[in-house]
Amino acid sequence: MLEREDFKSHSEAIIQWINNYFKNIESLPVKSKVKPGDIYKLFPKEPPITGISTDEILRQVNDKILPGMTHWQHPHFHAYFPGNASTESLLAEMVTSAMAAQCMIWETSPSAAELEQLVTEWLASMLSLPKGMEGVIQDTASTATLASILTARERITNFQSNKTGVPGNLRIYTSAEAHSSIEKAVAISGIGTSNMVKIAVDKNMALDPIYLESQIIQDIKDGYRPCCIIATIGTTGTMGIDPILPIGKFASKYGIWLHIDGAYAGTAVILPEYHWMIEGMQYADSFVFNPHKWMFTQFDCSVLFVRNADELIRCFEVNPEYLNTSTRGLVNDYRDWGIPLGRRFRALKLWWVICSYGVEGIRQKLRSHIRFNTIFAEKIDNMREWDHVTPPFLNFSCIRWSPAECKNEEDVDHWNKILLDHINQSGKAYLSHTKVNGRFAIRVVLGQTYIQEKHVHQLLHIIIQAMDRVRANKQTI
Ligand code: PLP
């Protein structure tokens, strides 16, 4: 066992390890190449009876654990949406970890509660959110969306469903392109996924407000109670932007809770030129975005804004004697603003990132990622056999290769899948896929914090090399 006095000498080895990791990250395969069970079998079935040294633990990290890691902070991580992090946020996490405070209520760390209030106010101002929206930090957008749906459920049942159960006729509306976390939240809320209506998208992959309205009017006639609409800015598969203004006007007319899922693209609203994405936000009851995706803040860090924090608190507040404090009601006890009681001090890393980048520094970084995508998209446009499946937007492209050898769309799907496997297995870059109108498409996100323009050119080269390899192996396709 180590004593606190041992920290300095041991941490020096760890700092050295982290420095080397950053220095060498581009030489590591972005996506781990191990097969299922490979890592598990490297370890003994029983835990060590006597402790092992830091040196030995570090050796095992290098030999046994590192090969099974996918390197999300590699500049050629272009899959899913990034979980981008930064040196600044890492430094903050070290301090947070050292203090290891559990910040469930104001009294268990007043600074954590007050910094959370401050930093969410800063973010509201950076995003130019409507006056009065208040923020709370959650672990993920999944949790934040669940908290919103639960509060919507409470509000429509006059705050009775926590007590007496959920009526069977509540309905939730979202787009056919919405993230799976919404379906999960609807299931957990007790409203039931059979009461979740997926609204068709238009040619821009955005929710069609006219269809939404007619569906809701019909549902009301049929005896359903529309509880919540979830609109997305930046859908996961195709970066669709649902039109919040017409949806919001309609939600407000019928008293339906409107939640905006901006998990990824919400960060772009910090750029004045993308503020149009949240036009109509004054009608929203809640909005979530993840600084842990595209705002250089270590996972986990998701911020939920609500128009009326009292409703959120009324949904989640439970008051056992052991949590009673004399400051109750005078301060924000964030345990009442969401599901878990225990809370990490997440505000510190957000505060640290905003302070050390400055708002302009954050804007510059975001704009550079968007510029990289413009360069990438232009090159793709100029490459024979390649198309954008949806218009490139922000730092996201959704593309498809149509090799001359393919006889039909099924063939094209298959070749794209093989191409993606080649790229990912090469270890040089990691991309992911989606289906658009039933057809396989490759997603490319240029959002790792330290990506530079040279990585865009490298990526194009990696794609071309993989095309050649797929063609060379075409007899095995
Ligand atoms: N919403 C959207 C649009 C997403 O793309 C994602 C994840 O990529 C989520 C929600 C879920 O995010 P989290 O992992 O923070 O729960």
Position in ligand 1 atom list of the atom nearest CA 262: 3
CA of residue 259 to ligand 1 center, whole Å: 14
81 CB less than 6 Å from ligand 1? yes
Mean pLDDT across the chain: 96
Position in ligand 1 atom list of the atom nearest CA 232: 3
Query: Is 91 inside a domain boundary?
Result: no
Position in ligand 1 atom list of the atom nearest CA 142: 16
Q: What is this structure's pTM? A: 0.96
Residues 58, 119, single domain; the answer is: no
CA of residue 171 to ligand 1 center, whole Å: 22
> Which of these, 273, 199, 271, lies nearest to 242 by C-alpha position?
199
CA of residue 141 to ligand 1 center, whole Å: 6
Q: What is the CATH number of the domain that holds 10?
A: 1.20.1340.10
pLDDT in tens, the chain (477 residues): 899 999 999 999 999 999 999 999 999 999 999 999 999 999 999 999 999 999 999 999 999 999 999 999 999 999 999 999 999 999 999 999 999 999 999 999 999 999 999 999 999 999 999 999 999 999 999 999 999 999 999 999 999 999 999 999 999 999 999 999 999 999 999 999 999 999 999 988 999 999 999 999 999 999 999 999 999 999 999 999 999 999 999 999 999 999 999 999 999 999 999 999 999 999 999 999 999 999 999 999 999 999 999 999 999 999 999 999 999 999 999 999 999 999 999 999 999 999 999 999 999 999 999 999 999 999 999 999 999 999 999 999 999 999 999 999 999 999 999 999 999 999 999 999 999 999 999 999 999 999 999 999 999 999 999 999 999 987 555
Of 19, 47, 69, the residue at which a domain comes to its end is 69
**188-192 CB contacts, 8 Å cutoff, 24+ apart:** 188/146, 189/146, 189/149, 189/150, 189/153, 190/153, 190/161, 190/165, 190/166, 191/149, 191/153, 191/166, 191/227, 192/168
Position in ligand 1 atom list of the atom nearest CA 292: 15
Residues 321, 414, single domain; the answer is: no
Residues 216, 139, single domain; the answer is: yes
138 CB less than 6 Å from ligand 1? no
Of 298, 322, 344, the residue at which a domain comes to its end is 344
Residues 178, 320, single domain; the answer is: yes
The alpha carbon dihedral of 187, 190, 194, 195 has a sign of: negative
Residues 365, 225, single domain; the answer is: no
Question: So what's the pLDDT on residue 474?
Answer: 77
302 CB less than 6 Å from ligand 1? yes
Residues 453, 359, single domain; the answer is: yes
Q: What is the CATH number of the domain that holds 368?
A: 3.90.1150.170
The β-bridge partners of 386 are 401
* CA separation for the pair 339, 326 (Å, rounded): 23
CA of residue 140 to ligand 1 center, whole Å: 7
* CA separation for the pair 67, 384 (Å, rounded): 36
Q: Which residue's CA is the nearest one to ligand 1's atom 5?
A: 236
CA of residue 179 to ligand 1 center, whole Å: 7
Q: What is the CATH number of the domain that holds 217?
A: 3.40.640.10
Query: Is 85 inside a domain boundary?
Result: no
140 CB less than 6 Å from ligand 1? yes
Three-class DSSP category at 398: strand
Query: Is 87 inside a domain boundary?
Result: no
Domain holding 18, by residue range, is 4-30+32-69
Q: Cα–Cα distances in Å, from 345 out to 115, 281, 318, 445, 460? A: 9, 28, 21, 29, 40
CA of residue 183 to ligand 1 center, whole Å: 12
Query: Is 452 inside a domain boundary?
Result: yes
Residues 312, 444, single domain; the answer is: no
Query: Is 168 inside a domain boundary?
Result: yes
The β-bridge partners of 306 are 134, 286
Residues 340, 200, single domain; the answer is: yes
Amino acid, single-letter form, for residue 421: D
CA of residue 234 to ligand 1 center, whole Å: 10
The DSSP secondary structure of 302-329, one letter per residue, reads EEEEES-HHHHHHHH----GGG--TTTT
Assigned token pair, 177: 């392109």
Assigned token pair, 58: 């570090």
Ligand 1 pocket, mutate which of 78, 84, 138, 142 (most atoms under 8 A from CB): 142
Query: Is 159 inside a domain boundary?
Result: yes
Query: Is 95 inside a domain boundary?
Result: no
Helices (H), 157-303: 161-164, 180-189, 209-221, 244-254, 291-294
* CA separation for the pair 6, 223 (Å, rounded): 67
Ligand 1 pocket, mutate which of 84, 137, 148, 179 (most atoms under 8 A from CB): 179
Question: So what's the pLDDT on residue 157?
Answer: 97
Query: Is 92 inside a domain boundary?
Result: no
261 CB less than 6 Å from ligand 1? yes
Residues 378, 262, single domain; the answer is: no
Assigned token pair, 236: 């996961």
CA of residue 221 to ligand 1 center, whole Å: 33
Pair 434, 238: CB distance under 8 Å: yes
Residues 47, 125, single domain; the answer is: no
Residues 245, 106, single domain; the answer is: yes
Residues 224, 266, single domain; the answer is: yes
Position in ligand 1 atom list of the atom nearest CA 235: 3
The total number of structural domains in the chain stands at 3
Of 304, 320, 344, the residue at which a domain comes to its end is 344
263 CB less than 6 Å from ligand 1? yes
* CA separation for the pair 396, 398 (Å, rounded): 7
141 CB less than 6 Å from ligand 1? yes
